[in-house]
Amino acid sequence: MPELPEVETVCRGLKKAVLNRQIDSIQLRRSDLRIPFPTGLKDIRRVKITDIDRRAKYILMHLGDKQTMIVHLGMSGSLTIMKNVSLQKHDHMILTLDDKTKIVFNDPRRFGLVDLTKTKNIDQHRFFRHLGPEPLEKEFTAAYLAEKLKGKKAPVKLAIMDQRLVVGVGNIYASEALFEAGIDPRRESRNLQPPEIRKLTTAIRDVLKRAIKAGGSSLRDYVQANGELGYFQHQWAVYGRESQSCKGCARKETILKVQQGGRATFFCPACQK
DNA sequence: AGACGTACCTGACCGC
DNA sequence: TGCGGTCAGGTACGTC
């Protein structure tokens, strides 16, 4: 489900609500999601949550026992803070805190995952070692992107969704960023010109920042940690707008939908060249 | 090494 | 009402 803005929103919400609280116990209601729940997870007792942050689309809960709990929401996962819980279908993991509030991980499709690792080894973890730079950090520059796109035949939309190149950009924000940069998503990466790469770098950063400001995009399952909806979906220029007219061009061109790498891509054939 | 398809899973929706 | 088909925000892994 969630791309970088949604994961960032959940992280911020969690941090605000549960930083420095203690996890009293963890309840698991099945043995696995995409991967088995790690050994030791259910045995965590009276451990403090010392920090919460994000790497790519992973939520990192750093614990007082020098371990970090890694949570990925997959396509349909949510982490919600609740006072009074009546457990629902697909509530798979429940953290009970020292003030009796609970953090509930619900994930209907079970593409999400939870893992546990020593905090100091986190960069070497198999989920992290291949990841590219964070798009909102200063390492993500036009020069970097140009270097990575050089010689690549893959369509530029697939390239910017490759987490080895840059993290956090998923199917929605890839279409949105390419619209904002005025670039046709089907273009071969190696054919982008330097000014276009500069525009794309800026567009990726800007669209992600604006989405974070709006609390992410809510469709189907996504909610913030406090249960509220994000509202960036109302600002989509192209995603999900097939056969509607483009908001960006005077000609009111019709938004097209094509398949790339088995997934839907939306774009305006007049604004994006 | 890189490119590509496929698998993982449930639920919502559509047409018949 | 029910059934089958399709589609959905992600990632890892196999094969070529």
Nucleotides of B under 7 A from a protein CB: 2-6, 8-12
What distances in angstroms separate CA A17 from CA A20, A52, A101, A103, one per listed residue? 9, 11, 10, 10
What tokens does A220 get? 């189907």
pLDDT digit string (tens) for A135-186? 999 999 999 999 999 999 999 999 999 999 999 999 999 999 999 999 999 9
The integer distance in angstroms from the CA atom of A100 to the C1' atom of C6 is 43
What's the whole-number average pLDDT of chain A? 93
Which secondary-structure segment (H or E) carries A203? helix A194-213
pLDDT digit string (tens) for A199-224? 999 999 999 999 999 988 876 555 67
- What is the torsional sign of CA A262, A268, A271, A273? positive
Of all nucleotides, the one whose C1′ comes closest to residue A7's CA is C9
At residue A14, does pLDDT exceed 70? yes
Which pTM value belongs to this model? 0.96
Mean of pLDDT values over A62-70 = 97
Annotation says A2 is catalytic = yes
Q: Strand order of the sheet with strand A67-72?
A: A78-82, A102-106, A91-97, A22-28, A47-55, A58-63, A67-72, A113-118
At residue A273, does pLDDT exceed 80? yes
Query: Looking at residue A221, what is its pLDDT?
Result: 57
**Block residue for tokens 């396509």:** A75
Annotation says A3 is catalytic = yes
Which secondary-structure segment (H or E) carries A179? helix A171-181
Measure the CA angle with vertex A170, ends A51 and A267; round to 5°: 145
Mean of pLDDT values over A19-24 = 97
Annotation says A57 is catalytic = yes
What tokens does A22 get? 């203690």
Of all nucleotides, the one whose C1′ comes closest to residue A240's CA is C8
Mean of pLDDT values over A25-51 = 96
pLDDT digit string (tens) for A90-149? 999 999 999 999 999 999 999 999 999 999 999 999 999 999 999 999 999 999 999 999
